[in-house]
Amino acid sequence: MEEIIGKANYCLNCKIKPCSNKGCPLHNEIPDFIKEVKEGNFTKAYEILCKTTVLQGVCGRICPHIKQCQGLCVRGIKGEPVAIGDLEAFVFDKAMEEGNSLSKVWKEEIEKNKKVLGNKKVAIIGGGPSGLTAAAFLAKAGINVTIYEKYNFLGGLLIYGIPEFRLDKKIVEKTVQNILDLGINVEYEKELGKNLNLNKLEKEYDAIFLAFGANCSSKMGVEGEELKGVYGGNELLEYNMHPNYEGKTVVVAGGGNVAMDCARTIKRLGAKEVKVVYRRAREQMPAETKEVEDAINEGIEFLFQNNIVKILGNKNVEQLELIKTKLVQKEGDTRLSPVNIENSNYIINADYVVMALGASPATFVKDLGLSLNKWGNIEVNENYETSNSKIYAGGDLAGVRGTVAWAAYSGREAVKKIVEKLKEA
């Protein structure tokens, strides 16, 4: 406890609050909740966080804090930033320990709102960060909510996409239960395109929020990626169907957190060598700084400013052809772009290749009758409405930036627009 209070006292409680206003996707009232921690008012600190987020225990642990809130902390200019993530996680843990649930914090608001919208029903498809956040804030608005989830558990990528060594699944279970205790219904093992029909749901509900993510790994577009031994990183993490890595060399292509999670998981599963190939510089990696440092400390090799141009082998992956890249400033670009250096090609040996270069929605999305953008994401307007004004979408599915906090933000903001429309109806 003394350590936590010390971390809280380190906060200057800035008036401009860059950590909240610019650094946090959810705009959590960071100095305000930390002030309550300083004074030992942990219940009040939790209530402040509940205004903007229902994923405190998760975001406090796995958000890219250095690239977000802590990266804009004033104390970080000349020294270490305030440990905002640690403090947020502590507040959640303390609240759960003392029984300060969402249903208690929001009880009066829910009862008041039910008098206005208690007869309205909203369906949410997908129980990941965006869907769970939307469900919670809809329940707070007094609306009857049902989540349709393809698995027999909720949490989405919080369960299958983020390894246990990064996020304890007991934290996810507590987070999910805290949300479900708001009176949310769940229909498990229901999947669009299989045993769930969007048209039928549209007739039954006043609004629908699509939040089932986009977890089909993007291809590299190089010769040989059809060989046996080439895997998608998202699918490896989701389905946990790994090959035998014992004594093998594995190359992971990509520079985000999925690439880091794949590389670190594969190393733990016995791979002799794990190499991460990234076509930009280390400073430009979208992965959380700590995840990159942890991967390096665990013996994972990084090949920065390298690009895979060909996967070689007969039936299985045997070798890779790579090319060096240089970074140049292209007109209109906000960051340096990698350009291949002619005649810098070289060969390395590999047994498996994992593509962790981004993801796109499942193929059935194109059959939903909704407009898609050029990347295959469901197109939404500024109100998170799809081309069908009764159906909304958020998270990866709608092309929202791929972090838990941004997915949660889209779920929360979509709820505001849904509530506005239902009040007018």
Domains of the chain by residue range: 2-100, 110-214+361-424, 217-359
Query: What average pLDDT score do residues 179-205 get?
Result: 96
CA triple 275-280-282, angle to 5 deg = 70
Residues near 403 by Cβ (< 8 Å), separated by ≥ 6? 25, 63, 64
62-98: per-residue pLDDT in tens? 999 998 999 999 999 889 999 999 999 999 999 999 9
Residue 215: per-residue pLDDT: 87
E strand or H helix that includes residue 100? none
Q: Is the pLDDT of residue 163 over 90?
A: yes
Residue 15's pLDDT band, with cuts at 50, 70 and 90, is confident
**230: helix, coil or strand?**
strand
Which of 8, 205, 3, 200 shows the shortest CA–CA distance to 87?
8
Query: What average pLDDT score do residues 222-248 get?
Result: 95
> In 182-280, which residue ranges form alpha helices assigned H by DSSP?
198-204, 233-239, 257-268
Q: Is the pLDDT of residue 330 over 90?
A: no
E strand or H helix that includes residue 353? strand 352-355
pTM over 0.75: yes
Residue 332: per-residue pLDDT: 74
> In 363-403, which residue ranges form alpha helices assigned H by DSSP?
none
Query: What average pLDDT score do residues 293-302 get?
Result: 97
Residue 273's pLDDT band, with cuts at 50, 70 and 90, is very high
Question: 2-100 adopts what CATH topology?
Answer: Fumarate Reductase Iron-sulfur Protein; Chain B, domain 2 (1.10.1060)
Residues near 115 by Cβ (< 8 Å), separated by ≥ 6? 142
Residue 375's pLDDT band, with cuts at 50, 70 and 90, is confident
Which of 324, 331, 161, 329 shows the shortest CA–CA distance to 258?
161
Query: What is the C-alpha to C-alpha distance for residues 278 and 259, in angstroms, rounded to an integer?
Result: 10
Q: Is the pLDDT of residue 334 over 80?
A: no
CATH code for the structural domain at 110-214+361-424: 3.50.50.60
Residues near 351 by Cβ (< 8 Å), separated by ≥ 6? 229, 248, 249, 250, 316, 317, 318
Residue 25: per-residue pLDDT: 95
Query: What is the C-alpha to C-alpha distance for residues 167 and 91, in angstroms, rounded to an integer?
Result: 17
Q: Is 114 in contact with 51 (CB distance < 8 Å)?
A: no
Residue 399: per-residue pLDDT: 87
Query: What is the C-alpha to C-alpha distance for residues 391 and 209, in angstroms, rounded to an integer?
Result: 6
Q: Is the pLDDT of residue 42 over 80?
A: yes
- As a whole number of Å, the CA-based R_g of the chain is 23
Residue 33's pLDDT band, with cuts at 50, 70 and 90, is very high
Residues near 291 by Cβ (< 8 Å), separated by ≥ 6? 166, 257, 260, 261, 264
Q: Is the pLDDT of residue 245 over 90?
A: yes
CA triple 250-253-256, angle to 5 deg = 120
Residue 362: per-residue pLDDT: 86
Q: How many residues would you count in the chain?
A: 425
CB atoms within 10 A of CB 134: 32
Query: What is the C-alpha to C-alpha distance for residues 110 and 105, in angstroms, rounded to an integer?
Result: 10
CATH code for the structural domain at 217-359: 3.50.50.60
Residue 381 identity (one-letter amino acid)? N
One fold for both 2-100 and 217-359?
no
Show the tokens assigned to 71.
């990266």
What b/e string do you get for 363-386 counting C-beta neighbours within 10 Å, with b at 16 or more?
A: eebeebebebeeebbbbbeeebbb
Using CA atoms, how far residue 405 sits from 7, 23, 177, 302, 410, in Å, is 22, 11, 19, 27, 9
Q: Is the pLDDT of residue 104 over 90?
A: yes
Query: What is the C-alpha to C-alpha distance for residues 334 and 332, in angstroms, rounded to an integer?
Result: 7
Using CA atoms, how far residue 310 sits from 230, 255, 281, 318, in Å, is 12, 19, 21, 11
Percent of the chain clearing pLDDT 90 (strictly above): 87
